[in-house]
Structure 1
Amino acid sequence: MEDRTSFSLVTEPWIRCQQTDGTDVVLSLEEVFDGTRPVAGLRGDSPTQDYAVLRVLLAVFWRAHRGDAVVAPGRTFDFEDWREGAWHEAVDGEADATVLDYLDQHRDRFDLLHPQHPFMQVADLHTSKDSRPAIARIVPEAESDYFTMRAGEALGSLPFDEATRWLVHTHAYDYSGIKSGAVGDPRVTGGKGYPIGTGWSGMTGGTTILGASLRETLVLNTSPGPLLAGEEDRPVWEREPDGPAERSAPAPKGPADLATWQSRRIRLFREGNRITGVLVSNGDRIPDAGANVFGDPMTPYRFSTNKSSKTQDVFYPRPYDPNRMMWRSLEPLIALDGDVTLARGERSGRRPETLDALARARDEGLAESQSVLSLRLTSASYGPQASSMATTVDARLDVPRRILAPGAGSVRQAVLANAKATLSASVALGVFGGRLLMAAGGEYSFQAAHTDAMLADLEQDFREWLAVLDPDFADASMVEWQQVVETRVRDRANLLLRGAGPKALIGREISQNDRVSLLTAGTAYSRLQRDLRKALPLLPAPQKSTDHSPGTYTFQELTTDE
């Protein structure tokens, strides 16, 4: 096979997708938009890669359709009308002629192997020693021996399509830390480029609204901002090609700029028709670690008390917490100003702009098909000083669109209260586990494993409960959910009681605040009951029972398997 001299992302397949019939396929940019393939969504090599590639597709879509927002003097762009047309075109699977024309206009900037301006690269990037690190550098799993599990020539090289996907991913999510010092970059000291932070997407909580097809997904993740942004908001392929140095005063100009932010300077090295090496140097730093960079419509933002002052409120993009993610992601996703009680000096965060846009949808076809929004949440977390990749958040959540409306504040408050109540009840189980240890003669130690197991057990049920929540019957639904939580926590507590052992049943005296009391498995369970009443305030008043409580069980009863 002859060596390739060009690899055009417009015509060559590089985007890994899943078709609506479940089969996998690799497509070009043209094939995504020409209506010839029924594509359900992206199916790349990792969740963060899917998000990074989606953002490139969105930048193409946004920039191509920006002309649609240009109206005659004295008139106002009607985003709802535009979205209605774009939505029906996507549902029908029609070719997007506007995007295809745009791709043709910028075709030469989408060539991975172009000698002067290769896609998202610097053509002559080099170090003083002309180093060429292995291609494994840009594949996160490769740095933990991923490549050793890949056979043959794939061990040290990548085909052009996969290399392109990881190239896009590196700009979006690369970790901080020392980089190779590029010749021509004045920031280099002693041959090294010192840390400038992660890629932009690595700072954010990626929030994708999923449609039934990839084309629908592109429309759903388009809010007014990207279409109304000024001409200075340009993706990388509409700017002058970068050199090894940072752009002068590189402040993000808008959504398309951020979606293709060049956080690194990169050069791919080829041998024949495969990529075998890559040089990664520092690129454009996000100013002030992302403070008040509001151009990204797909991430929530958090208020920073420490960085804010009397004259300026400061917000940062908010990534999703990998720890107990389900229970901590709801507030940044759904809350509006006034939904959450805040301490003095605090401000509400900002939910993704895309969710605000859909909350106001008036098109009946769109509103009916999106009565429940299917969300994919994607975040990366990093090690100390963000100098290595740690874990990835990839979660799905269905949210009734009606609860996002400005007038649904009371329902949102109730949903957030139920999530908090679930977390509190699960924490109470961890406390109960610690008290059982004390009753058996040990030292108290909060049993986080019991809490995490309980939350994991409840997570799918909570997702299903939220997806079918009817705001018109929210009060009854809230009570029903807290009853579910109480039952599940009690069931788990009874299992712990059965394994507590005879010492915990007998108990021991403990001294606390100059008082001596007897702590047994039974008294620990009684305290759990009180804790649950406090954590789950919507529970009906308890009824007196003639059955004996766990505090009066015999040891034989507590250790008998059900």
Structure 2
Amino acid sequence: MFSLLDDPWIQIVDSDDELKLVGIRDIFTGEVKAVRLQGESPAQDYAVMRLLLAIFWRSHSDEARVMPGKTFNFADWFARTRKRLLSKGADKAVLEYLDKYSDRFELFDSTAPFMQVAGLHVKSGEAKHITTIVPESQSDYFSMRAGRARDTLTFAEAARWLVYVQAYDYSGIKSGAVGDTRVKGGRGYPIGTGWTGMTGGTLVMGGNLLDTLILNTVQESLTNPDDRPVWERVADGPDVRSSKGEKNEPQGPADLATWQSRRVLLHNDGDKVVGVVVCNGDKIPDAGANVLADPMTPYRYSSNKSKKNLDVYYPRPYDVERTMWRSLDSLVVAETDGGFSGKEKAPKRPGILSNLAQLSQQIEGLPSVLNVELFSVEYGPQSSSVATTYAARMSLPVVILMENSAYLRTEIRAMASATTNAAVALGRFAGNLLVAAGGDYEFKTAVTDRVLAELEPRFNDWLGSIADLPDDAAQAESEAAQAAVKQWQQTVRAVVDEHARTLLRGAGPKAFSGRVIVSGPDDTRGRFVSAATFYQLLHRSLNEALPATAAEKATQKQESQKEATE
């Protein structure tokens, strides 16, 4: 009735920059020159991309098998496969694999519908409204879907949102499926969000979709025989997967990329999807503790959960606010870098990034700057709703990911921290202007966020330029690296000062006249403050945050004083 292999349902942008709807096979035959996905939301695109990656990984897993006594040469396989994909624009291995499992990609199959459970029902027999799986439409207001469009989904739309729900569905009480031994009083009690929603989604973008697939492939995604996506496993029933003889723990990257966090059944009227049943599926054990097989997320160390002989890590979502500044460590830090103690160990960067850093020293033709896309979903209280979906892009030079680039990483991390400190100083300055004008102090978060947002694309460009530095830039005495650091600090100072002057112009005459403030009942003299006082204080803070510019400012001041006396 609707095959995800042959019927169009994935929204892509092709090489002519046109939006098209394609089936899975179309992407791998070479007939469609797919460049990237562009569905209803970035999170949905990431979920669908992980589905395609699971197909790609499993299609090529046989190529990782070698004769006894032999070793699989991943770098050689990677170079040969990427060259073939880029030259032919098609993938025969995937097409043969899809033929093998074609019956498992039917959206409305009577026994094993794709990512669903045949016959799934609740005691009352009711199905929920289709907005249950479309987060953007769950409110009657501020929705892109209205009227009849809110009441039905095309089969293509339903397929995309089905993949999204399995990846990202929020926690909370679900309908209690008949046959689920966990149901109490007709309810399925919370088991957590979908696996992908727990992670910081990381994707390295290639020149086209096939290139993106190979760039996000690590050796471990090919070599684990127990790692099977949902369509290779026994079809799920309403209960946990162990009831069908499957292990309840994730078995590898492909298993996690298609993790069935929910039991779902789409109801259709022959032309459109008109309702849906969504129940609890498979729970991620221990809230994701040491589920380390996903190569597309960073992991954070948990000092609270770790024990003497057991280090515990959790997947780390990216911060939806100030993403670049707060998430940089998770992307670039190597576990051997200094600055971390036994109580607070270094995070684990996404495996796909470490993989490309290693491959770049073994094979030719890899990009020197990685175009990285980041995805995160922020949930509401008790993770019972989707609050914010966030996506960002970064230019990440491969050189800073290499093992011998610890100095360069330290400097780049320091620049991100210094930028944040400078922006925070500007937020304090804005609050201090209120004091100078006779009001009460209030830190101006919006001012800090505004300047960080302005600096983010500039930092991204500066970060990308690191790839052009000489080979010795990774060494501590590198003049080129130090010059790059100074250049960035100058950029930050100029932007912050420009914002500060704008704030001064709007501060009003009272702020310039100033006032005397007292710190307490014992303060008999008080302290005189004005806009000028706080502007000087801001620049002292900038001197501390951006030391490479402090000496420059001092020199300029001396030259000005010398000119004035001549």
Same fold per TM (> 0.5)? yes
Alignment of 1:155-234 (within 5 A): 155-229=150-224, 231-234=225-228
Partner of 2:446 in structure 1? 449
Q: Matched residue of 1:322: which SS?
A: coil
- Deviation (angstroms), 1:150: 3.8
Partner of 1:543 in structure 2? 555
Whether 1:29 and 2:39 are equivalent positions in the alignment is: no
Q: Matched residue of 1:88: which SS?
A: helix
Partner of 1:558 in structure 2? none
1:300–1:352 Cα contact (<8 Å) kept: yes
Q: Matched residue of 1:468: which SS?
A: helix
1:487 pairs with one of 491, 494, 498: 494
Partner of 1:59 in structure 2? 54
Whether 1:11 and 2:11 are equivalent positions in the alignment is: no
1:237 pairs with one of 231, 236, 240: 231
Partner of 2:312 in structure 1? 314
Spell out, residue by residue over 1:92-150, the C-alpha distance to the aligned partner (whole angstroms, 9 max, x if none): 13421111111000110111111011001001110000011111110011102379654
- Deviation (angstroms), 1:310: 1.4
- Deviation (angstroms), 1:258: 0.3
Spell out, residue by residue over 1:8-65, the C-alpha distance to the aligned partner (whole angstroms, 9 max, x if none): 1111111111101100111111111111111101111110110110111111110111
- Identity percentage over the alignment? 50
The 1:175/1:370 distance shift into structure 2, 3 A limit, reads same
Q: Matched residue of 2:11: which SS?
A: strand
Partner of 2:564 in structure 1? none
Q: Matched residue of 2:162: which SS?
A: helix
Could you tell me which runs of 5 or more consecutive residues in structure 1 were left unpaired when the two chains were aligned.
Answer: 1-5, 550-562
- Looking at structure 1, the residues matched to 449 and 560 of structure 2 have their Cα atoms a distance apart, in angstroms, of 29
Whether 1:382 and 2:379 are equivalent positions in the alignment is: yes
1:411–1:471 Cα contact (<8 Å) kept: no
Q: Please, what TM-score do these two structures have when normalized by structure 2?
A: 0.93
- Looking at structure 1, the residues matched to 353 and 213 of structure 2 have their Cα atoms a distance apart, in angstroms, of 14
Partner of 1:257 in structure 2? 255
Whether 1:434 and 2:434 are equivalent positions in the alignment is: no
Partner of 2:476 in structure 1? none
2:515–2:530 Cα contact (<8 Å) kept: yes
Partner of 1:463 in structure 2? 460
- Looking at structure 1, the residues matched to 356 and 188 of structure 2 have their Cα atoms a distance apart, in angstroms, of 42
> RMSD across aligned C-alpha pairs, in angstroms?
1.8
Q: Please, what TM-score do these two structures have when normalized by structure 1?
A: 0.93
- Deviation (angstroms), 1:485: 0.7
Partner of 1:3 in structure 2? none
Whether 1:406 and 2:407 are equivalent positions in the alignment is: no
Whether 1:524 and 2:534 are equivalent positions in the alignment is: yes
- Looking at structure 1, the residues matched to 293 and 254 of structure 2 have their Cα atoms a distance apart, in angstroms, of 9
Q: Matched residue of 1:396: which SS?
A: strand
Q: Matched residue of 2:250: which SS?
A: coil
What is the identity, as a one-letter code, of the residue corresponding to 1:476?
A
Partner of 1:43 in structure 2? 38
2:297–2:350 Cα contact (<8 Å) kept: yes
1:147–1:155 Cα contact (<8 Å) kept: no
2:136–2:143 Cα contact (<8 Å) kept: no
2:252–2:293 Cα contact (<8 Å) kept: yes
- Looking at structure 2, the residues matched to 285 and 110 of structure 1 have their Cα atoms a distance apart, in angstroms, of 23
Moved more, 18-27 or 148-157: 148-157
How many residues end up aligned between the 2 structures? 542
What is the identity, as a one-letter code, of the residue corresponding to 1:314?
V
1:80–1:363 Cα contact (<8 Å) kept: no
- Deviation (angstroms), 1:368: 3.9
Could you tell me which runs of 5 or more consecutive residues in structure 2 were left unpaired when the two chains were aligned.
Answer: 471-479, 562-566
The 1:269/1:211 distance shift into structure 2, 3 A limit, reads same
2:98 pairs with one of 96, 103, 128: 103
The 1:169/1:191 distance shift into structure 2, 3 A limit, reads same
- Deviation (angstroms), 1:369: 4.6
What is the identity, as a one-letter code, of the residue corresponding to 1:465?
W
- Looking at structure 1, the residues matched to 142 and 105 of structure 2 have their Cα atoms a distance apart, in angstroms, of 28
What is the identity, as a one-letter code, of the residue corresponding to 2:152?
S
Moved more, 497-506 or 201-210: 497-506
- Looking at structure 2, the residues matched to 440 and 362 of structure 1 have their Cα atoms a distance apart, in angstroms, of 57
Partner of 2:473 in structure 1? none
What is the identity, as a one-letter code, of the residue corresponding to 1:246?
V
Spell out, residue by residue over 1:461-513, the C-alpha distance to the aligned partner (whole angstroms, 9 max, x if none): 11111111234322111101001111111111111111111221121222338
- Looking at structure 1, the residues matched to 398 and 112 of structure 2 have their Cα atoms a distance apart, in angstroms, of 44
- Looking at structure 2, the residues matched to 405 and 288 of structure 1 have their Cα atoms a distance apart, in angstroms, of 32
- Deviation (angstroms), 1:543: 2.2
Spell out, residue by residue over 1:423-443, the C-alpha distance to the aligned partner (whole angstroms, 9 max, x if none): 000000011111111111111
- Looking at structure 2, the residues matched to 147 and 178 of structure 1 have their Cα atoms a distance apart, in angstroms, of 25
1:331 pairs with one of 308, 329, 332: 329
- Deviation (angstroms), 1:522: 0.9
What is the identity, as a one-letter code, of the residue corresponding to 2:539?
Q
1:402–1:471 Cα contact (<8 Å) kept: no
Partner of 1:139 in structure 2? 134
- Looking at structure 1, the residues matched to 276 and 364 of structure 2 have their Cα atoms a distance apart, in angstroms, of 46
Q: Matched residue of 1:348: which SS?
A: coil
Spell out, residue by residue over 1:514-544, the C-alpha distance to the aligned partner (whole angstroms, 9 max, x if none): 6532111111111111101111122251225
- Looking at structure 2, the residues matched to 458 and 371 of structure 1 have their Cα atoms a distance apart, in angstroms, of 23
1:147–1:156 Cα contact (<8 Å) kept: no
The 1:148/1:392 distance shift into structure 2, 3 A limit, reads closer
Moved more, 171-180 or 465-474: 465-474
What is the identity, as a one-letter code, of the residue corresponding to 1:105?
K
- Looking at structure 1, the residues matched to 397 and 492 of structure 2 have their Cα atoms a distance apart, in angstroms, of 21
The 1:333/1:545 distance shift into structure 2, 3 A limit, reads same
1:121 pairs with one of 116, 121, 127: 116
What is the identity, as a one-letter code, of the residue corresponding to 1:505?
F
The 1:534/1:540 distance shift into structure 2, 3 A limit, reads closer
Partner of 2:484 in structure 1? 477
Moved more, 213-222 or 495-504: 495-504
Q: Matched residue of 2:482: which SS?
A: helix
Partner of 1:396 in structure 2? 393
